[in-house]
Structure 1
Amino acid sequence: MTDPGNAAQAEAWDGGTGAFWAEHADRFDAAVAAHHPPFLGAAAITTGETVLDVGCGAGRTSLDAARAAAPGHVTGVDLSTRLLAIARQRAADAGLDTVTFEHADAQVHPFPAGGTDVVVSRHGAMFFADPVAAFANLARALRPGGRMVLLTWQGLEHQEWLRSFLTILAAGRAVAFPPAQGPSPLSLSVPARVDAVLRDAGFTDVEFMARRAPMVFGADPDDALGYVAGQQAGLLADLDPATRDDALAALRADLVAHHDPGGVRYDAATWIVRARRT
C-alpha cells in the first residue's frame, strides 16, 4: 500500500534509484560513518525494546539496533526491494533472527498501534509527500511516551559536497539545488519547520543536536569519480559528449583537491532530531 503522493518515490526506489544505492550500499555506509555512532547513541536502544527503522535501506541501522535490543525485535521498512534483499542477506550472514524487513510506505502502512518503543531513521524520512501524515502514522505505531530519533541533513549552506557536485555537473546551467520543502534530501533541514511538523503529528519534547563531520566519497579521486558521477547521473545525461567530458574533468579536479590521507572528503553537517510521542 503506497500513498498516491509517494508514487514517484516508490517508482524511483524500486527502479533506477534503488538499483544504484543497492550497488553502492557499502559506500553509503562508509560515507556517513562519522555520523552513524552519535545517531545510534542518541537512540539509546536497550535490551528488550521494539524498534522500527524507517527507510532502512540496506539495513545497517536495523542490524545495529537488533544487536542492542536483543531479544527485542526490530522491523525495517523501505520502498526498495533491492535494498531490502541486501538487508535480509546481511541479517542472515550476521545470524540475527530478531530483525525482519518489510516493503512498505511508512506514511500509510498499518503498523500495530502502540507496538513500538523506538522509531529510528537514518536519512530515510525526508521524502514523504505529506510529512505530518507520515509522522502521525509513526506516532500511532509508538507506545505512549515512546521516542523517535532521526538523522537528517542540515541546510545546503553546510553541505560542501552537495553544493560542489551539483554546481560542477550543472556545467554552466542553472543549478537545481534540492528544496528545503517537499520530498527532498533537505526537507528536514530547518529546525523550526521540523519542530512544527512533529508537533502537529503528535510529538513533543522535540530537540536538535548538531553534528559536523566530513562525508567520505572514496579512497582516492579515481575511486570516487565513478561513484559521484553515477550518483548524479541525471545531471550528466543531457550534456553533449564534449561538455560531459569537461564536467567530469572538473569534477575529478575537485575530488583531487579534497583528497587527503583519510580519503576524498567533503564537509557535511547533520541534525540528530529527538522527539517523544505524547
Structure 2
Amino acid sequence: MDIVNTHQSEAWNGYEGRHWADNHERYNTLVSGLSGPIFEAAAIEAHHRVLDVGCGAGQTTREAARRAKVGHAVGVDLSRPMLERARATAEAEGITNVTFGQGDAQVYPFPEQHFDVAISRGGIMYFADPVTAFANIGSALKPGGTLVFGCGRESDDDQTGAVWAAMGRHVPLPDPAEDDAPGPMTFRDADAITAILTKAGYTGITAEAITTEAVLGADPDDAADFVFGMGPVRFWIRDADPAAVVRAQDAVEAALVPFTAAGAVTLRGAGWLFSAVRG
C-alpha cells in the first residue's frame, strides 16, 4: 500500500481512527447534515459505479450502494479501524454490492475511467498535495463523470466557533491563519478549492453554500466529553496543563448550554457543497 500522507495515516490508524470507529454512530450524526445535499447533487442511478473517498466507517458508501442497486460502491480510506467497522456494518446490513479498500487516495491505484460518480463527506481535506490527489481521483472517473463533496466553510452562521472560543481561553489552539497542515482549517476557501480542482483537470465546478445542524451530544456534559475525546483536540492539548484542560472542558460545557433543547446539543454549521465534472 503506497502512502504519501504519512502523518494522516498514523493518526487515522492510531487513536483518531479508533475513536471514530468506536463512536461511528455519533460521528455520523455529527456530519449527517452534509449527506442529503451530497446525494442530491450526486444523482446516483441504479447502474452507477460509485467511489467514496475518505469513506471512514462507510455510512455514505453503504447509502451509495443502496442507490446503485444494480451497480457497485467502493469506499477507500486510510484507516484500518474504520474500514473494519465499515465492512462489519455492511455485512450486518446485508449489503453485498459494496467493497472497501485501505489506501491513500492521493496515490491509490484506481481503475482508469471506471466510476460514474465520486463522492466524499468531509474526507478530502487531508491531502499533502491536493492537486495530485484530485487528479488521481479524476483518473478513476469516466469522461463526464461527476465529483461531489462537502467540506467546511467560514461563516458567522457557524455556531461551532463557540466551542473553540471557550476552549481557547484556557488551552492553546492552532491559529487558522498560520495552520497550513492538511485538514478542515485549510480547506474552507471556495476560490482556493476551485483553483485546485481546475488544476486537477475538472470543469463545470460549482460551490454552493449550505447550512447544516450538528448534534454533539445528549446534554452539555456528554457533548463536552465527546469533543475532548476527538483526535485533533487531544493532539492540541497534549502538552497543556491538566488543570487548564479541566477548566477548558468546564468552559465548553457551559458554552453549550444555550444550544441544548429536546435532549440534544445542536449547533448550526456552515459548509460548501462542491460539484465538478471530469474533463
Task: Please report the TM-score for the alignment, with normalisation by the length of structure 2.
Answer: 0.93
What stretches of structure 1 of length at least 5 have no aligned partner? Answer: none
Aligned to 1:89: 88
In 2, Cα distance between the equivalents of 1:219 and 1:149?
31
* TM-superposition CA deviations, 1:251-277 (whole Å, max 9, x none): 111122221226112221111100000
Q: Residue type of the partner of 1:227? A: F
Moved more, 23-32 or 52-61: 23-32
Q: Is 2:252 aligned against 1:242?
A: no
* TM-superposition CA deviations, 1:9-32 (whole Å, max 9, x none): 111111111111112111011112
Please state how far the C-alpha of 1:40 moved relative to its aligned partner. Answer: 1.0
In 2, Cα distance between the equivalents of 1:7 and 1:172?
31
Number of equivalent positions: 276
Q: Is 2:102 aligned against 1:117?
A: no
Aligned to 1:218: 217
Aligned to 1:20: 19
* TM-superposition CA deviations, 1:85-105 (whole Å, max 9, x none): 111011101111100000010
Identity of counterpart residues, as a percentage? 39
Change (3 A) 1:276 1:48: same
Change (3 A) 1:116 1:13: same
* TM-superposition CA deviations, 1:209-258 (whole Å, max 9, x none): 11112211011112212101111223443333332222221111112222
Moved more, 177-186 or 253-262: 177-186
Change (3 A) 1:174 1:213: same
* TM-superposition CA deviations, 1:12-58 (whole Å, max 9, x none): 11111111111211101111222211211111100110000000000
Moved more, 179-188 or 262-271: 179-188
Q: Residue type of the partner of 2:168? A: A
The Cα RMSD (Å) is: 1.7
Aligned to 1:257: 258
What stretches of structure 2 of length at least 5 have no aligned partner? Answer: none
- Do the aligned partners of 1:14 and 1:82 also contact (CA within 8 Å) in 2? yes
In 2, Cα distance between the equivalents of 1:190 and 1:123?
14
In 1, Cα distance between the equivalents of 2:81 and 2:123?
15
Task: Please report the TM-score for the alignment, with normalisation by the length of structure 1.
Answer: 0.93
